[in-house]
Amino acid sequence: MSRPRKPRVRREPLPHKPQTVAGVDVSIRSGFAQAAIAVLRLPGFQVAAEAVHRCDVPFPYVPGLLSFREMPALLPALEKLEASPDLFMLDSQGLAHPRRFGLACHFGVLTGQPALGVAKSRLTGKRAGDLSAEKGSRVALLAEEDPDETIGAVVRTRDDTNPVYASVGHRITLDEAADVTLRCSPRYKIPEPTRAAHRLSQREEV
């Protein structure tokens, strides 16, 4: 039986091709959470806006409950952001989550903004088939308990490199999530928006 989806997550087409994508990431160090949002203009990936918020870590690390650890830092960072990007890309899972409600879903539903998750590793699910070694190849990520349910996409963003796992967060389709992931990955495995956000989240002085 298919696992019930969270009813508030909307899988729908974007209103237009994104021209600005905001990478979102949180770094945890020495008891502090540093949330960072970096808005990049496409196709050149110029930085259009940045925002950072640092606070105490509000929730212990519990596998599968990343949202409770990172959202309290992300929302204040969003309030500081002096831009309205077309799309938010989070270094996390969206629907490709054991509860079908990863951090990208939590962020999208709470803010009402289009969002996708691009994770470096698989949290759940199994590939629908073999993935070729060439950049641009992709296969569906299927629910382990129901092979008829597609929860994400396994996307090769660089030749002969481990893939990333893209999934819907809110107000985007899975095909669009995979396409945006590739569009934002001209050179590296990790897309440029989340790379920029990660660098910003690691800065000692902001």
Domain holding 168, by residue range, is 20-120+164-201
Q: Is pLDDT of 198 > 60?
A: yes
Instruction: Look at residue 177 and tell me if it is in a domain.
Output: yes
Instruction: Look at residue 125 and tell me if it is in a domain.
Output: no
Instruction: Look at residue 138 and tell me if it is in a domain.
Output: no
* Percent of the chain surpassing pLDDT 90: 78
d(CA 174, CA 151): 8
Sheet with 138-142: list strands edge to edge: 46-56, 32-41, 20-29, 87-90, 115-119, 164-170, 150-155, 138-142, 126-127
Instruction: Look at residue 182 and tell me if it is in a domain.
Output: yes
d(CA 152, CA 177): 9
Instruction: Look at residue 1 and tell me if it is in a domain.
Output: no
Helix, strand, or coil here: 11? Answer: coil
Predicted model pTM:
0.91
Q: Is pLDDT of 49 > 70?
A: yes
Number of domains in the chain: 1
Mean pLDDT for all residues in the chain: 91
Instruction: Look at residue 49 and tell me if it is in a domain.
Output: yes
Instruction: Look at residue 48 and tell me if it is in a domain.
Output: yes
In this structure, what DSSP letter does residue 133 have?
Answer: S
Residue 102 banded pLDDT, cuts 50, 70, 90 = very high
Instruction: Look at residue 136 and tell me if it is in a domain.
Output: no
Structure tokens at 4: 């019930």
- Tell me the angle at which helices 103-111 and 66-80 cross, rounded to the nearest 10 degrees: 40
How deeply is 60 buried, as exposed, middle or buried, from its count of CB atoms within 10 A (0-12, 13-18, 19+)? exposed
d(CA 170, CA 103): 11
Structure tokens at 140: 């569906």
193: domain CATH number is 3.30.2170.10
